[in-house]
């Protein structure tokens, strides 16, 4: 048997044709992409639902302005670290670790990140030599408590790439989940 696919007259298969054509693979991929995107987006949407297990989470927003043809800025504002025990008694947040980072080349900050976070009760535990990543720790907090998360503004010149900024949190307690913010 000889099969010549109608969409590609230069290709001829001889013998039994079993398997998928390029068109079938492309069609399947096109239909799968929205499903994959939905699967990736679902955990983010779930974060706005009521907490079902003890969770430390960062509130606030990261907003950016500008394009590659203009100067750019990105600002983290309105934030706090919060702990919700989800009704589990006797559970605190555990020791908390916060990482504030902007890892895209060309992005700088005029905010003295170590000073403003230390003033808010965080302890500086690490800083990258280039000043793009800072690690802080905080003692455990109880259900319903919040810890201030000072705002930070980064900037980049005309021609720069979009920012990669993360405000991430983790707990040393195996009973506590953590949710941070990322912007890229």
38-to-33, 52, 118 alpha-carbon distances in Å: 9, 22, 39
178-to-16, 57, 97, 168 alpha-carbon distances in Å: 54, 5, 10, 8
CA gap 182, 171 in Å, rounded: 18
**What is the residue-level pLDDT of the chain in tens, covering all 184 positions?**
444 444 444 444 444 445 445 554 444 444 443 333 333 333 343 444 566 899 999 999 999 999 989 999 999 997 899 999 999 999 999 999 999 999 888 899 989 999 999 999 999 999 999 889 999 999 999 999 999 999 999 999 999 999 999 999 999 999 999 988 888 8
């Amino acid at each position: 048997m000889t099969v010549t696919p109608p969409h590609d007259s230069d290709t001829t298969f001889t013998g039994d044709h079993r398997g998928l054509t390029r068109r079938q693979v492309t069609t399947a991929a096109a239909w799968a992409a929205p499903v994959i995107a939905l699967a990736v987006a679902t955990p983010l949407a779930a974060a706005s639902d009521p907490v079902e297990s003890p969770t430390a989470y960062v509130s606030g927003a990261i907003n950016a302005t500008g394009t590659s043809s203009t100067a750019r800025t990105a600002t983290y504002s309105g934030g706090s670290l919060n702990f919700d025990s989800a009704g589990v008694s006797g559970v605190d947040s555990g020791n908390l670790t916060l990482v504030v980072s902007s890892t895209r080349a060309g992005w700088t900050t005029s905010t003295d990140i170590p000073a403003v976070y230390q003033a808010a009760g965080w302890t500086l535990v690490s800083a990258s030599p280039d000043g793009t990543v800072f690690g802080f720790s905080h003692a455990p907090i109880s259900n319903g408590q919040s810890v201030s998360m000072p705002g930070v503004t980064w900037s980049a010149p005309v021609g720069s790439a979009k920012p990669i900024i993360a405000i991430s949190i983790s707990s040393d307690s195996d009973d506590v989940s953590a949710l941070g913010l990322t912007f890229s």
